[in-house]
Chain A
């Protein structure tokens, strides 16, 4: 920085020095009307001539041209995956502070990773929850169901039965576990990669598929792109295709709950890439100002389509640490550790419910699949990168944990897998019996004119007639 500055001694006021940044480097003096000083360049020396009260006095500095830096991942297709730079603390090593701690005392939690399941398959440390066997079994079931659902729908898209699909591969623990920390009446404001919030409430897969197929039973009437679900009853806000718009909405919903002296809380969801949106920052401002009862979740799956997370974040700090500027407690958690996600979600939900305000949670995970069915990740990252991801596979890790605890076996796993696949196939058959986007059994075009307004204005009535309905 020093090399880009010049110190100007003011002859009339000895001892006073002004430091200028060399923002403008010109070979010609600048227009005196526009500024009070001008830079001159001679060879490698740059001279600053200050005008007005600084009179003619000039001090020089060496010219060091600025340079423009664009962050880039070190690893691209053809390179060997390398996550040695990702610092992963031992499971159980991060403390669990009381939920009413002063946010200032929690700052370290934004720079670590909260983990519960050890490599040996034990649950260790302060964040370990006391869960009964049924909760544990459900956790595994939900993640496996989401994965099986994704696999079938991905295939259905490839078979031309619908236009588009987005999967969760590698990120199943996050939405499946988080939902278990919420209560009926709470509201999620999800992105397109949190279907586990529905799956973990036993929302019918049949209806999800009807939405994906845009068929006559689609709750959204074929209006929205596949996977853009909506279910108020299940605390699942209508998904928007426009990134991060839901984040301030989550805060507003939470503010409304507080205004109404209700007991419900909200959860906002956003991807690493989308934290760059202004709406992310707007949400943080409102959440911190009004101490809204909201959990603000960031799913850091390392990628935003082809763009690595360093473009959204630069190379300083973490996404969680963005909360610090707003005085919002921020935690980082192993997103592939079902138990850690659930423990942190409960901690943050409790803070919200006890009127202690918002919490920002960053889930560290990896998008193991393509961004969507329109994407081929091998063009921008090594194919093997997913396998090298040091936090492993959430389903496999949880299964191994259950086996180690003596609660599960490979045989029961195989049996559950078969049961889930049957369920998914049954739901798929039922949904396809109603129709798919390609089979043409989709809602009537007449429906397009409905719900634009509560009451159809005359111009839409005319247009609907013109359209032949």
Chain B
């Protein structure tokens, strides 16, 4: 890596990725609710309208289906739309456009039309947002063939993955754990959060770079068990590892689809034990896919059943937020159980 680095929050890193992508390629257009003049309710598009003009960064009417549908049309024309859904909880009106249209356009037209499109949205809880500002809908996207789904866990990855997603020839669902926007929250809600400027991954190159889709990162090497995590849960896994003293290997998937199966299987082959953690509801969650893959690929290495720690199968509550959020304690308990299994 050449060039200078600076510290950025995840918000600044995402803003900066937009800026670089727009600078490099005038086909990149950015829009969404409150995205233009105001720069997004989380400020991820701040300053872009001023710099590139309202033709390339603008406010959209409150119609998620329209936002995605028009973006598909723009992508078909040859632009590279990178659009924002204000909260992932509000993406459902656009689901038809995403599933039936964006995801299948290349396939059904024999490659005649394609859909190079990025749909960004904040996900996850931990902000007392209740059931309509807290959901983690990754599984409703990974279940759809034709979509790629990524979720960065830090500013460095957020920037590199977003640029790579914008350059990707297919539709990418870009999920941003909002609880990480300003610092690596580890589930210990009673303690102050370390700001990104005091964290290694808050150091971000100022220039262009990409983080490839489909490559996981090993956040901590360990011999005792493998934790498969992404988004906020990466830090919960770190906290649980510190709290329990178990020598866990923590894999941050970064990209759910395409998935870096090689990194996963290499780790589980080494440790023989695996815990999957995500904030989304359990049943038919992405953890089920991971658990099945590990079982299929690593069965003869496994010394304990693959275990899932997830949000409960209920709507995300307001007052009982910390009983819902998979805590380091809950993950720690699962890790001990997996270590004790023979």
Contacts and interface: CB of A to CB of B under 8 A. Distances in A.
A242 B61 CA distance: 15
A379 B46 CA distance: 12
B37 interface: yes
Contacts of B89: 241-242
Nearest to A239: B132
A448 B320 contact: yes
A323 interface: no
B33 A241 contact: no
Interface string B46-68: 00000000110011111101100
B313 A460 contact: yes
Contact of A443 (B55, B61, B320): B320
B318 interface: yes
8 contacts: A70-B59, A72-B37, A223-B315, A241-B89, A276-B66, A305-B33, A307-B59, A311-B60
A225 B37 contact: no
Nearest to A220: B318
Contacts of A240: 132
B215 interface: no
Contacts of B33: 304-305, 307
Interface of A: 68, 70, 72, 76, 163-164, 214, 218, 221-226, 228, 240-244, 273-274, 276-279, 304-307, 311-312, 374, 379-380, 437, 442-445, 447-449, 452, 459-460, 463-464, 467
Interface of B: 33-34, 36-38, 41, 54-55, 58-63, 65-66, 89-90, 92-93, 128-133, 282-283, 312-315, 317-320, 323-324
B313 A452 contact: yes
A205 to B, nearest CB: 20
B66 A278 contact: yes
Nearest to A435: B319
Contact of A273 (B58, B62, B93): B62
Contact of B58 (A70, A447, A452): A70
Contact of A222 (B36, B37, B66, B318): B318
Contacts of A225: 128-133, 318
A444 B317 CA distance: 11
Given A224-B130, A243-B62, A279-B93, A306 B320 contact: no
* Residue from the set B65, B312, B324 with the largest chain A CB neighbour count within 10 Å: B312
Contacts of B92: 242
A277 B59 contact: no
Given A224-B130, A305-B38, A463-B313, 13 more contacts: A223-B319, A277-B63, A305-B33, A307-B34, A307-B59, A307-B62, A311-B60, A311-B61, A437-B128, A437-B319, A442-B319, A445-B320, A459-B283
B322 to A, nearest CB: 8
Nearest to A306: B38
A452 B315 contact: yes
Contacts of B131: 223-225, 241
Contacts of B41: 305-306, 374
A442 B89 CA distance: 24
A223 B131 CA distance: 8
A16 B323 CA distance: 74
Contacts of B59: 70, 306-307, 311
Contacts of B90: 242-243
B319 A222 contact: yes
